[in-house]
Structure 1
Amino acid sequence: MGDLDDRVAVITGGARGQGRAHALALARAGADIVVCDTAQPVSGLPYALSTPEDLGETAGLVERIGRRCVAVPADVRSLEQMRSVAERAIDEFGRIDILIANAGIASQSTIAEMDEQMWRDMIDTNLTGVFHSFRAVLPHMIERRWGRIIAISSCLARMGLANVGHYAASKWGVLGLVKSLSLEVAEYGITVNALLPAGVDTDMTQNPATWRLMMPDQENPTKEDWMAFIASGPPNGDLIQPAEVAEAMLLLVGAHGRHFNGEAVTISAGLSANMS
Structure 2
Amino acid sequence: MGTMTGKVALVTGAARGMGRAHAVKLASEGADVVALDVCAEFDTTDYPGATTDDLAETVRLVQEQGGRILASQTDVRDPDAVTAAVADGVERFGRLDVVVANAGIIRVSDTDERAKTFRDVVEVNLIGAWNTVDAAIPAMIAGGRGGSIVLVSSTQGIRAAGTERAGVQGYAASKRALVALMQVWADQLAGHSIRVNTIHPSGVATDMILNETTMKLSAAGDPWLSSQLNALPIALLQPEQIATAVAWLVSDDAAFITGTSWPLDAGFTLRS
How far off is 1:44 after superposition? 1.6
- Which of 247, 250, 253 matches 2:247? 250
1:192 partner SS: strand
Percent identity of the aligned residues?
Answer: 33
Determine the C-alpha separation between the residues in 2 that align with 1:233 and 1:138. Answer: 35
What residue in structure 2 maps to residue 183 of structure 1?
187
TM-score norm. by structure 1 comes to 0.90
- Are 2:8 and 1:8 aligned? yes
How far off is 1:217 after superposition? 3.4
The correspondence of residues 1-276 of structure 1 with structure 2, limited to 5 A, is 1-108=1-108, 115-145=114-144, 146-161=146-161, 162=163, 163=165, 164-217=168-221, 234-275=231-272
Per-residue CA deviation, residues 9-68 of structure 1 (Å, 9 max, x unaligned), is 010000010001001110110101110100011112111111011111101111111111
How far off is 1:118 after superposition? 0.7
Contact 1:237 1:270 in 2 (8 A): no
Contact 1:77 1:128 in 2 (8 A): yes
Per-residue CA deviation, residues 185-234 of structure 1 (Å, 9 max, x unaligned), is 0000100011100000000011233235545537xxxxxxx9xx99x975
Change (3 A) 1:109 1:25: same
Tell me how many residue pairs correspond in the alignment.
Answer: 264
Calculate the aligned-residue CA RMSD, in Å.
Answer: 2.0
What residue in structure 2 maps to residue 221 of structure 1?
none
Determine the C-alpha separation between the residues in 1 that align with 2:172 and 2:16. Answer: 22
Determine the C-alpha separation between the residues in 2 that align with 1:49 and 1:102. Answer: 15
TM-score norm. by structure 2 comes to 0.91
1:269 partner SS: coil
1:99 partner SS: strand
Contact 1:110 1:165 in 2 (8 A): no
How far off is 1:137 after superposition? 0.5
Q: Which runs of 5+ in 1 are unaligned?
A: 219-225
